[in-house]
């Protein structure tokens, strides 16, 4: 994974470089560019021949397959009872407001 701390976030470097600068000459970039990178899981980095040999799956195909996998296997963490209680209170308050709000109960041209 990618380490996240004050140094790796490089907020000061971002500020120093500014909106029109670049990071290639920054010592921070040279210190971290080999270890702090991210490869998106759905992007295919193979060359054309390898991609073709592996069935030429498009990005859309990979996304759809991943969605199906998530829907088939994901087990959400249960909501804590105290959180569920707060959610229910918010829902009840919103429902009560909708029923009493003048704008929602108006007739056209009122």
The string of pLDDT tens digits covering residues 81-91 is 999 999 999 99
**Rounded to whole angstroms, how far apart are CA atoms 92 and 79?**
18
The string of pLDDT tens digits covering residues 26-73 is 999 999 888 888 888 899 999 999 999 999 999 999 999 999 999 999
Residue 6 has pLDDT above 70, yes or no: yes
């Amino acid at each position: 994974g990618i380490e996240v701390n004050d140094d790796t976030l490089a907020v000061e470097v971002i500020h120093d470089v500014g909106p029109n600068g670049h990071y290639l000459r920054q010592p921070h970039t040279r210190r971290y560019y080999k270890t702090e990178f991210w490869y998106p899981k759905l992007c295919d980095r193979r060359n054309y021949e390898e991609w073709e040999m592996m069935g030429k799956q498009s990005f859309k195909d990979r996304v759809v397959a991943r969605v199906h996998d998530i829907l088939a296997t994901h087990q959400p963490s249960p909501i804590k009872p105290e959180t569920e209680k707060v959610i229910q209170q918010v829902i009840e308050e919103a429902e009560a407001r909708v029923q009493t709000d003048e704008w929602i109960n108006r007739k056209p041209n009122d």
